[in-house]
Amino acid sequence: MKRLLVLIMVVLLVSAVFAKITFWTTEVESNRMQRIRALATIFKAQTGIDVEVVPVEENDLLKQIPIAKNAGTLPDLIESGIEPMLLLGSENFMNVDLATKIINDFGDVYNGAARLLSNGEGKYYAIPFHAWVQGIWYRKDWFKAQDLGDPITWYNIALAAKVLNNPKKGVYGIILPKKANAYAEQVFTEIALANGARPIDENGNVTFNTPEMIEAFRFYKELGKYSKPGFTDVLDALKGYLRGETAMIFYSTYIMDDIAVEEVQRGRIDNFNPQLVVNTGFANKMINVRPTSYGQVVALGITKNANASEVEKFVKFLMTDKNYVYWVHMAPGGMNPTRKSVAESDEFLDNPVLERYGKAKIAEIVAALDSVERFEFINGKVITDMSKLSANFVIGKAINYMFANDWTPQQTAMWAQKEAEKILGK
């Protein structure tokens, strides 16, 4: 009996020593790879499990998966944006049971972030790892002086844009994107979803010509009355906000160091406003007929062939306490934890950028993950045709033409409907 126990212990020890998992990451920059490999080294020292970290460009990910499958070299764990995860999940590559178990074990993953990875049947294709969110960044001091409510509802946004618009003094209520590009689509996404509008419904029908979508174009054009003139773009919005030329802009959390850090702000404009971070608010959702927010989630996906026990340990290692903070501090503000307990922790706040905002404001910003949505995903289903419309800038062009040609919202919606149907062959 003793010999048997000794033999079992030796087998377990040898298994632990030689246990290995392969981890594909899309964080390919050298400084980020250094951090990831450092975490893998710490994990091996603690568990004896070796992690081979393999950098893969996100654009190459979907090409590499079939090659690895045919060669029998599929990774155990993949880190990437949600689009590849949902496509791989729908093709039965992912271990949905283990991903769901890990999310449930944590118990504090933001609902919206998890919902984007749903398989539509109560389980998840992957674990939401980190995210950025987009919303309205606004001058709290200007709002307070005019007794205006936070720019969350359509009513409050439009009222603030009108009241705070003062072109004679070079100040505008808002700076909206009006160029035919992805930024215009990102901003319009939040506006449309807040009104229950989508370009393509769950059944694949093009729905630009619906009353909800026409109303979304109407609201966008209304805001345009109080926006900086011209065909403004993302840099106009960013620099305009930093210079004090506008009360509101739409931007992602990647703006946080531009607002708070002197050397970063001076890299954008000629001066620095140390009070800007104090006087800045963030509307973490938008509401008209329903609440919504916009953002991007990066996930950890476990493949079906994975060494399940070892991978579960590594995922929980990466998403716990100091290890998790060490990862997301690669890009403060741009990478935000998807676990509420970590997002609200002192360790996460202990960063030269984040500490300038304060714990309450950071928690408010990251809470946008509770309602984050995208046009491309509905109830665990990938709306693949949406990528074709985005690639052809249908929404950006519609917005650009609406202002350039002074189209009505109805004309804009009808053009977008016909253009989308032409592109999709419907």
CB 137 within 8 A of CB 282: yes
Report the pLDDT value the prediction gives residue 404, as an integer from 0 to 100.
98
Report the pLDDT value the prediction gives residue 391, as an integer from 0 to 100.
87
Neighbours of 66 (CB within 10 A): 12
C-alpha–C-alpha distance, residues 374 and 401, integer Å: 23
399-409 tens-digit pLDDT:
999 999 999 99
Q: How confident is the model at residue 412 (pLDDT cuts 50, 70, 90)?
A: very high
Report the pLDDT value the prediction gives residue 7, as an integer from 0 to 100.
44
Q: How confident is the model at residue 419 (pLDDT cuts 50, 70, 90)?
A: very high
Cβ partners under 8 Å of residue 190, min gap 6? 134, 135, 250, 286, 292, 293, 294
Question: Among 55-59, 214-218, 278-282, 414-418, where is mean pLDDT lowest?
Answer: 55-59
Report the pLDDT value the prediction gives residue 10, as an integer from 0 to 100.
43
Report the pLDDT value the prediction gives residue 88, as an integer from 0 to 100.
87
What is the full DSSP assignment across 286-330? EESSSEEEEEEEEEEEEBTTS-HHHHHHHHHHHTSHHHHHHHHTT
Residue 288: pLDDT over 70: yes
Q: What is the end-to-end Cα distance of the chain in Å, rounded?
A: 73
What is the full DSSP assignment across 212-265? HHHHHHHHHHHHHTTBPSSS--HHHHHHHHHTT-BSEEEEEGGGHHHHH-HHHH
Give the mean pLDDT of 194-213. Answer: 97
Report the pLDDT value the prediction gives residue 16, as an integer from 0 to 100.
45
Give the mean pLDDT of 300-318. Answer: 96
Read off the pTM: 0.86
20-132+296-366 and 133-293+374-424 share one CATH topology? yes
Residue 5: pLDDT over 70: no
85-94 tens-digit pLDDT:
888 888 899 9
CB 134 within 8 A of CB 296: no
339-374 tens-digit pLDDT:
999 999 999 999 999 999 988 899 889 989 988 999
C-alpha–C-alpha distance, residues 82 and 77, integer Å: 14
Residue 3: pLDDT over 60: no
Q: How confident is the model at residue 8 (pLDDT cuts 50, 70, 90)?
A: very low
Give the mean pLDDT of 142-166. Answer: 98
Domain boundaries, the chain: 20-132+296-366, 133-293+374-424
Q: How confident is the model at residue 14 (pLDDT cuts 50, 70, 90)?
A: very low
C-alpha–C-alpha distance, residues 89 and 85, integer Å: 6
Q: How confident is the model at residue 12 (pLDDT cuts 50, 70, 90)?
A: very low
Q: How confident is the model at residue 106 (pLDDT cuts 50, 70, 90)?
A: very high
| Alpha-carbon torsion (45, 49, 52, 55), positive or negative | negative
Neighbours of 264 (CB within 10 A): 16
DSSP character at residue 148: P
Give the mean pLDDT of 365-393. Answer: 88
Residue 221: pLDDT over 50: yes
Q: How confident is the model at residue 242 (pLDDT cuts 50, 70, 90)?
A: very high
DSSP character at residue 167: G
CATH topology of domain 133-293+374-424: D-Maltodextrin-Binding Protein; domain 2 (3.40.190)
Report the pLDDT value the prediction gives residue 309, as an integer from 0 to 100.
96
User: Which class for 4: exposed (0-12), middle (13-18), buried (19 or more C-beta within 10 A)?
Assistant: exposed
CATH of segment(s) 20-132+296-366: 3.40.190.10
Residue 11: pLDDT over 90: no
| Alpha-carbon torsion (15, 18, 24, 30), positive or negative | positive
Residue 178: pLDDT over 70: yes
Give the mean pLDDT of 198-227. Answer: 97
Residue 15: pLDDT over 70: no
For the chain, what is the mean pLDDT? 93
C-alpha–C-alpha distance, residues 141 and 19, integer Å: 56
Report the pLDDT value the prediction gives residue 2, as an integer from 0 to 100.
52
Instruction: For Cα atoms 93, 97, 102, give the angle at the middle one, nearest 5 degrees.
Output: 115
Report the share of the chain in percent with pLDDT over 90. Answer: 82
Give the mean pLDDT of 19-36. Answer: 95
Q: How confident is the model at residue 22 (pLDDT cuts 50, 70, 90)?
A: very high
Residue 254: pLDDT over 70: yes
* C-alpha dist (Å) from residue 206 to 181, 210, 267: 20, 9, 43
39-74 tens-digit pLDDT:
999 999 999 999 999 999 987 887 888 898 888 889
Smallest CA-to-CA distance from 78 within 31, 27, 112 is with 27
Report the pLDDT value the prediction gives residue 18, as an integer from 0 to 100.
57
